[in-house]
Amino acid sequence: MQIGWGGCITGGMREIGNLIAGALVLALTPTGFAAGVEPGLGELKFFESRIRPTLVEHCYPCHSAEAGKSKGGLTLDTRSGALRGGDSGPAITPGQPANSLLVTAISHADPDLEMPPNKKRLPDSVIADFRKWIEMGAPDPRDDNSASNDSMAKAGGDFWAFQKPLRVAPPATTDSEWSRRPLDRHVLAKLESSGLTPSPDAEPGILLRRLHFDLVGLPPSPAANRRFRARIESEGVERALAMEVDALLSSERFGERWGRHWLDVARYAESSGKDSNFTFPHAWRYRNYVIDAFNQDKPFDRFITEQIAGDLLPASGPEERETLLIATGFLAIGPKGLNEMNPDQFRADLIDEQIDSVTRAVTATSVACARCHDHKYDPFTMEDYYGLAGIFRSSKTYFGTRVAPNNQRGGDLIALPRREGQVIPNKSVPKKRVEKLKAELVALNRDEKESKAAAMKARLEGGDPLKFFSLQKALRIIWRRGAIEGELKSVDEEGRALPLAMGVTEGVTIGDAPLLERGEIKRPKASVPRGFPEVMAIPAGTKIPQDQSGRLELAQWLTHPDHPLTARVMVNRIWRHLLGTGIVATMDNFGFNGERPSHPALLDHLALQFIESEWSVKAMIREIALSRTYRQSSDHREDAFLADPDNRLLWRASKRRMDAESIRDAMLAVSGFLDFNRPRASLIGHLGHRPVSLLAFAKGVPSDLDGSDHRSVYLPVVRDRLPDVFELFDFAEPSLVTGDRETTNVPLQALYLMNGPFVSKQSVRLARRVTAKAESTKKRVELAIALCFNRAPDKAELELAHAFFAQPVAKEDPAKAWQTYCQALLATAEFRNLD
H, E, C per residue of 160-181:
HHHCCCCCCCCCCCCCCCCCCC
Task: Round to whole Å and give the CA distance between 411 and 402.
Answer: 6
With bands split at pLDDT 50, 70 and 90, how would you rate the model's confidence at 143?
Answer: low
pLDDT per residue as tens digits for the range 597-636:
999 999 999 999 999 999 999 999 999 999 999 999 999 9
448 and 369 co-located in one domain: no
Whether residue 384 is predicted with pLDDT greater than 80 in this model: the reply is: yes
Residues 271 and 722: beta-carbon distance below 8 Å:
no
Question: What was the pLDDT predicted at 74?
Answer: 85
Average pLDDT over residues 362-384: 92
With bands split at pLDDT 50, 70 and 90, how would you rate the model's confidence at 29?
Answer: very low
**CA-based nearest residue to 653, from 591, 581, 600:** 581
Last residue of a domain, one of 456, 476, 497: 497
Question: What was the pLDDT predicted at 40?
Answer: 58
220 and 245 co-located in one domain: yes
Task: Round to whole Å and give the CA distance between 777 and 3.
Answer: 15
Question: What was the pLDDT predicted at 149?
Answer: 45
In a domain, 363, yes or no: yes
Output the CA torsion sign for 750, 751, 754, 759: negative
284 and 403 co-located in one domain: yes
**CA-based nearest residue to 365, from 204, 563, 224:** 563
In a domain, 99, yes or no: yes
Phi then psi dihedrals of residue 126, to 5 deg = -70, -45
Beta-carbon count within 10 A of 146 CB: 14
Among 192-206, 356-370, 456-470, which stretch is predicted with the lowest mean pLDDT?
456-470
Question: What was the pLDDT predicted at 622?
Answer: 98
274 and 365 co-located in one domain: yes
Residues 100 and 93: beta-carbon distance below 8 Å:
yes
336 and 392 co-located in one domain: yes
H helices of 581-698, where?
600-612, 617-625, 638-643, 660-671, 683-687
Last residue of a domain, one of 588, 621, 656: 656
* Residues ≥6 apart with Cβ < 8 Å to 120: none
359 and 401 co-located in one domain: yes
In a domain, 150, yes or no: no
Q: Quote the domain boundaries for residue 643.
A: 182-251+564-656
274 and 361 co-located in one domain: yes
402 or 13: which leads in pLDDT: 402
In a domain, 245, yes or no: yes
Domain count, the chain: 5
115 and 224 co-located in one domain: no
Average pLDDT over residues 413-439: 93
Whether residue 253 is predicted with pLDDT greater than 90 in this model: the reply is: yes
In a domain, 716, yes or no: no
With bands split at pLDDT 50, 70 and 90, how would you rate the model's confidence at 380?
Answer: very high
In a domain, 724, yes or no: no
Residues 139 and 46: beta-carbon distance below 8 Å:
yes
Question: What was the pLDDT predicted at 377?
Answer: 84
Question: Over the chain, what is the mean pLDDT?
Answer: 89
pLDDT per residue as tens digits for the range 648-682:
999 999 999 999 999 999 999 999 999 999 999 99
Report the interhelical angle of 204-216 vs 222-235 (nearest 10°).
120
With bands split at pLDDT 50, 70 and 90, how would you rate the model's confidence at 753?
Answer: very high
Whether residue 13 is predicted with pLDDT greater than 50 in this model: the reply is: no
337 and 447 co-located in one domain: no
Query: Which DSSP symbol is given to 237?
Result: H
With bands split at pLDDT 50, 70 and 90, how would you rate the model's confidence at 114?
Answer: confident
Whether residue 147 is predicted with pLDDT greater than 50 in this model: the reply is: no
554 and 479 co-located in one domain: no
412 and 435 co-located in one domain: no
Question: What was the pLDDT predicted at 123?
Answer: 85
Task: Round to whole Å and give the CA distance between 745 and 728.
Answer: 9
In a domain, 662, yes or no: no
With bands split at pLDDT 50, 70 and 90, how would you rate the model's confidence at 85?
Answer: confident
Whether residue 9 is predicted with pLDDT greater than 70 in this model: the reply is: no
551 and 596 co-located in one domain: no
Among 252-261, 329-338, 388-397, 541-550, which stretch is predicted with the lowest mean pLDDT?
541-550
Whether residue 146 is predicted with pLDDT greater than 60 in this model: the reply is: no
Question: What was the pLDDT predicted at 610?
Answer: 98
DSSP string, 568-583: HHHHHHHHHHHHSS-S
Question: What was the pLDDT predicted at 6?
Answer: 33
**What proportion of the chain, given as a percentage, has pLDDT over 70?**
92
Average pLDDT over residues 637-646: 95
Q: What is the pTM of this model?
A: 0.85
DSSP string, 182-220: HHHHHHHHHHHHTT--PPPBPPHHHHHHHHHHHHHSSPP
Whether residue 17 is predicted with pLDDT greater than 70 in this model: the reply is: no
140 or 739: which leads in pLDDT: 739
Average pLDDT over residues 127-151: 73
Whether residue 68 is predicted with pLDDT greater than 70 in this model: the reply is: no
With bands split at pLDDT 50, 70 and 90, how would you rate the model's confidence at 154?
Answer: low
Average pLDDT over residues 86-115: 85
In a domain, 538, yes or no: yes
Residues 678 and 708: beta-carbon distance below 8 Å:
no
Average pLDDT over residues 553-572: 96
Among 27-36, 129-138, 548-557, which stretch is predicted with the lowest mean pLDDT?
27-36
Last residue of a domain, one of 640, 656, 672: 656
With bands split at pLDDT 50, 70 and 90, how would you rate the model's confidence at 7?
Answer: very low
Average pLDDT over residues 174-178: 92
With bands split at pLDDT 50, 70 and 90, how would you rate the model's confidence at 150?
Answer: very low
